[in-house]
């Protein structure tokens, strides 16, 4: 049976790893390569790096980090942040990334999904979808690090990205991100049930049980988190072992 | 020298770094002569069957591979699309002719009514169907990282070294003489994958 993937996410800003809360209040938490080494040693199933550096001039750090990590970590690596062209995707894929994550630029120019999928295969395209509750109480997709509402419901956008060739979706609740209050399992489930491609749950994990709920209640294929691995004593080992105890198929 | 065939698809960087981590030189190349001169040949890749074959033909790499692997008998490792291209035909976006080194066809994974998602992405256990030195010393549970939507259905069960399960039985690894190939990614499967690559380096078919 295929195993539920446990994926630490690493947010990068100007070459450093940062922690955020609801896409705001940045805190420097260390060197990304050092942290990746620890996750690899603890048998993380994949790694996701998202560069949230504001200016494109400083984005070269993403490529350097990916190169450095891929020299020694032999697990799947996803790289994202500001990718807006096939060439940028190609450069990351040629330097150690197995997949690229696209977000804002996929909404601004949806053909970008088709272009990368056609050139490198569906499985290399991960579309990252960030959403939060709007004034009407409905989940709404936001771009530009949560700053810009799009009028799109996550289900509608998820179906569109699937049709255009995305291989999987990283679904992040902005309201939950960094709060350690658990995944938004309701939205997660409606999105996961609406598409055939795998959904990676993200945003809000505070306890190892949240990973289990993401799969069992939210129907996610994979589970991602950041804070729990940095700010609690919950390691990837402990998370895997709890998930196994609760009946999920996981790696050693 | 290990020759890694570059036809524009897949994470070649990681394949090269994995061999280097094991203390071996590896060259990423799209030069047919370099492939013919390599001691061992690796065909990685991810993406669509038809595109893969077209790239190989455009660069004359299909001829170079046939010379190096079939005529000269060099140890060969195919990874992911590099396994699928060994088939006689591929049915992704129309029917295409493959290298034909392994009898069989590449078709979409049939998850039937299992509710499973396509692509098949993640770590999955393999079960051995035939002995192969390439899977020696891989500790149990033998799990490897898969990412694919199509699979190779072999015509000859003797070619199937290992299988996995995902809605149906999936061919995980094949071997035919000096040709070995995996549907999973050894370069992305941590210690298990590195062990397989180490076995490949030492392999004398």
Cβ separation B189–A74 shorter than 8 A:
yes
Whether A142 has a pLDDT exceeding 80, the answer reads: yes
Which residue in A has a C-alpha nearest to residue B165's C-alpha? A1
Whether B70 has a pLDDT exceeding 80, the answer reads: yes
List B96, B148, B185, B192, catalytic entry: B185
Mean pLDDT on B47-54: 89
Q: How many beta-carbon pairs below 8 A join chains A and B?
A: 106
Mean pLDDT on B20-39: 97
The predicted model scores a pTM of: 0.95
**CA dihedral over A237, A238, A240, A241, signed as positive or negative:** positive
Residues in A lying within 8 Å of B, measured between beta carbons: 1-5, 40, 43, 45, 67, 70-72, 74-77, 93-98, 119-124, 167-168, 196-198, 221-222, 251-252
What CATH number should be reported for the domain whose range is A5-245?
Answer: 3.20.20.70
Cβ separation B47–A198 shorter than 8 A:
no
To the nearest whole angstrom, how far is the Cα of A60 from the nearest Cα of chain B? 18
Is B154 one of the catalytic residues?
Answer: no
SS3 (DSSP) at B97: strand
% of chain A with per-residue pLDDT over 70: 98
Q: Does the domain spanning B2-202 belong to CATH 3.40.50.880?
A: yes
% of chain B with per-residue pLDDT over 70: 100
A83: confidence class by pLDDT, cuts 50, 70, 90: very high
Question: What is this model's ipTM?
Answer: 0.93
Q: Does B6 touch chain A (CB under 8 A)?
A: no
Q: Contact, B56 vs B62, CB < 8 A?
A: yes
Please give the pLDDT value at position A181: 95
Average pLDDT value over all residues in chain B: 95
Whether A60 has a pLDDT exceeding 90, the answer reads: no
Q: What is the pLDDT of residues A146-196, one digit of tens each?
A: 999 999 999 999 999 999 999 999 999 999 998 999 999 999 999 999 999
Mean pLDDT on B11-36: 96
Is B80 one of the catalytic residues?
Answer: yes
Q: Which residue has the tokens 């050092």?
A: A34
SS3 (DSSP) at B45: coil
% of chain B with per-residue pLDDT over 90: 90
Written as one string, the DSSP assignment of chain A is -PPPEEEEEEEEETTEEEEEETTEEEEEEE-HHHHHHHHHHTT-S-EEEEE--SSGGGGHHHHHHHHHHHHH--S-EEEESS--SHHHHHHHHTTT-SEEEE-HHHHH-THHHHHHHHHH-GGGEEEEEEEEE-TTS-EEEEETTTTEE-S--HHHHHHHHHHTT-SEEEEEETTTTTT-S---HHHHHHHHHH-SS-EEEES---SHHHHHHHHHTT--SEEEESHHHHHSS--HHHHHHHHHHTT-----
A213 Cβ contact partners less than 8 Å away, ≥ 6 residues apart: A182, A183, A185
Please give the pLDDT value at position A217: 98
Mean pLDDT on A192-211: 97
Query: What DSSP designation does B134 have?
Result: G
Single out the residue of B39, B42, B148 nearest to residue B92, CA to CA.
B148
Mean pLDDT on A30-50: 94
Please give the pLDDT value at position A148: 94
Q: Which residue has the tokens 């070294």?
A: B161
Please give the pLDDT value at position A54: 67
Parse chain B into domains and list their residue ranges. 2-202
Q: What is the pLDDT of residues A84-134, one digit of tens each?
A: 999 999 999 999 999 999 999 999 999 999 999 988 889 999 999 999 999
Distance in angstroms (rounded) separating the CA atoms of residues B37 and B41: 10
Please give the pLDDT value at position B114: 84
B156: confidence class by pLDDT, cuts 50, 70, 90: very high
List B92, B120, B187, B192, catalytic entry: B187
Which residue in A has a C-alpha nearest to residue B17's C-alpha? A71
Cβ separation B166–A2 shorter than 8 A:
yes
Parse chain A into domains and list their residue ranges. 5-245
B113 Cβ contact partners less than 8 Å away, ≥ 6 residues apart: none
């Amino acid at each position: 049976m295929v195993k539920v993937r446990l994926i630490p996410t690493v947010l990068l800003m100007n070459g450093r790893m940062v922690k955020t809360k609801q896409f705001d209040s940045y805190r420097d938490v260390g060197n990304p390569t050092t942290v990746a080494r620890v996750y690899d040693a603890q048998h993380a199933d994949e790694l996701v790096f998202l560069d949230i550096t504001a200016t494109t001039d400083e984005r070269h750090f993403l490529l350097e980090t990916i190169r450095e990590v891929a020299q020694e970590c032999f697990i799947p690596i996803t790289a994202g942040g500001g990718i807006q062209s096939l060439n940028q995707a190609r450069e990351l894929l040629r330097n150690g990334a197995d997949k690229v994550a696209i977000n804002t630029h996929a909404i601004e120019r949806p053909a970008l999904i088709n272009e990368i999928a056609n050139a490198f295969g569906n499985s290399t395209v991960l579309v990252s979808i960030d959403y939060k509750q709007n004034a009407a109480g409905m989940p709404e997709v936001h771009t530009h690090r949560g700053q810009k509402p799009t009028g799109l419901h996550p289900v509608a956008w998820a179906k569109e990205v699937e049709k255009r060739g995305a291989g999987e979706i990283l679904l992040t609740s902005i309201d939950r991100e960094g709060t350690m209050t658990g995944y938004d399992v309701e939205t997660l489930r409606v999105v996961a049930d609406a598409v055939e491609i795998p959904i990676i749950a993200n945003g809000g994990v505070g306890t190892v049980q949240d990973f289990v709920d993401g799969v069992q209640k939210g129907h996610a294929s994979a589970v991602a988190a950041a804070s729990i691995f940095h700010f609690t004593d919950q390691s990837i080992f402990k998370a895997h072992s709890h998930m196994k105890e609760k009946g999920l198929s996981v790696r050693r | 020298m290990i020759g890694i065939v570059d036809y524009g698809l897949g994470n070649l960087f990681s394949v090269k770094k994995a061999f280097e981590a094991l203390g071996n030189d590896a060259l990423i190349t799209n030069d047919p002569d370099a492939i013919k001169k390599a001691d061992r040949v690796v065909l990685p890749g991810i993406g669509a069957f038809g595109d893969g074959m077209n790239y190989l033909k455009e660069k004359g790499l299909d001829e170079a591979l046939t010379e190096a692997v079939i005529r000269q008998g060099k140890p060969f490792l195919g990874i992911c699309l590099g396994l699928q291209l060994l088939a006689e035909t591929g049915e992704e976006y129309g029917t295409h002719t493959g290298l034909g080194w392994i009898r069989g066809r590449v078709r979409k994974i049939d998850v039937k009514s299992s509710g499973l998602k396509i692509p098949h992405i993640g770590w999955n256990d393999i079960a051995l169907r035939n002995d192969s030195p390439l899977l020696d010393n891989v500790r149990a549970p033998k799990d490897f990282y898969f990412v694919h939507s199509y699979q190779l259905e072999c015509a000859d069960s003797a070619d199937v070294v290992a299988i996995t399960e995902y809605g149906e039985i999936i061919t995980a690894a094949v071997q035919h003489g000096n040709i070995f190939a995996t549907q999973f990614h050894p370069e992305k499967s941590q210690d298990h994958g590195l062990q397989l690559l180490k076995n490949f380096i030492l392999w004398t078919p």
